[in-house]
Amino acid sequence: MISHIQDILALPFIRYAIGSLVIGGIVAGMLGPFILMRRIGFIVGGISHALLGVLGVAFLLGASPYWVAIPGAIALALFIGYIEKSSGKGYGDLSVALVWTVGMSIGVLAMNKAKGYAPDVMSYLFGNVLLLTKQDLFWSVIVALFLIFLVLVFFKKLVMVCIDEDFAIAQGIRVGLYYYLLLVMIGLAVIVLLKSFGIILMISMLIIPSSIASHISRSLGQLWLFTIISAVFSGMVGFCLAYAFDLSVAPVVAIVLAVMYVIALLIKR
């Protein structure tokens, strides 16, 4: 049994997959509570889905996806945050939905017209952690370390902005600045999760673990701890089940998260 596990772990793509799931779980676990407290799940979906347009343009131009995706994700986060803030009452979600659908449409069309290697649109929509390379893992580590640094430095101010804007303003905190910073951090997290979970299923990793933790936590510290544990644990369990039954990893992880959420609800009752 042990030798069989060692043989499996000796495969580079298995190590890259596990490493990516752990890193993705940590990143999602760090940012998930902010998303939950600020209630910006729809904006997260807008950023992730519109990113397909940026990737499509990158492939169409023959540019490196990462060199285009990182600044593209930052620009999208700022743009979506701006239109959500500047839209009239009741029109914020409509504006985000417009960017969401247009971005995805541009991405699909651009990928279809890309010369040479035609990227598989489905792999970007639903992810394929077993196709990750050493370069993918390298970029994930770099972005994850940067996000960890930002969270550690600005944690208290981000929490205040997410929990109570009026109190944050009274404390002299520039609410708008830190709101945009949070959106930029979410945009970078999308890059970390992109190839592992895909544009569609990464939302489950960014939202569900914090929802699970909120039902079993009694303090902010526990909220973050249980969110990270839930994200990493679901990734590992989902990977093992997917490998055992020859299934796609990301959908299995999403189902594991859904089951964990139901269990958390039952525990709370």
| CATH superfamily of the 2-268 domain | ABC transporter involved in vitamin B12 uptake, BtuC (1.10.3470.10)
Model pTM? Answer: 0.91
How many CB atoms are closer than 10 A to CB 148? Answer: 13
3-state secondary structure of 32: helix
Under 8 Å CB-to-CB from 72, ≥6 apart: which residues? 51, 54, 55, 58
Alpha-carbon distance of 75 to 140, in angstroms, equals 19
3-state secondary structure of 112: helix
Mean pLDDT over the full length of the chain? 88
> Which one has a higher pLDDT value, 92 or 85?
85
Handedness of CA 166, 205, 235, 197 (dihedral sign): negative
Alpha-carbon distance of 46 to 52, in angstroms, equals 10
Write down the pLDDT at residue 156. Answer: 94
Alpha-carbon distance of 126 to 207, in angstroms, equals 16
Per-residue pLDDT tens over the stretch 36-89: 999 998 888 889 889 888 888 888 887 777 788 889 999 999 988 888 777 655
Per-residue pLDDT tens over the stretch 1-15: 566 566 677 788 889
CA-closest candidate to residue 33, choices 266, 166, 215: 215
Q: What is the mean pLDDT of residues 129-147?
A: 91
The answer to whether 94 and 87 have CB atoms below 8 angstroms apart is yes
Would you call 264 exposed, middle or buried from its count of C-beta atoms within 10 A (0-12, 13-18, 19+)?
buried
The answer to whether 132 and 195 have CB atoms below 8 angstroms apart is yes
Write down the pLDDT at residue 24. Answer: 94
> Of how many residues is the chain composed?
269
Alpha-carbon distance of 89 to 92, in angstroms, equals 7
Write down the pLDDT at residue 11. Answer: 81
Lowest mean pLDDT, pick from 103-112, 178-187, 246-255: 103-112
The answer to whether 40 and 155 have CB atoms below 8 angstroms apart is no
Locate 106 and state its tokens: 């541009």
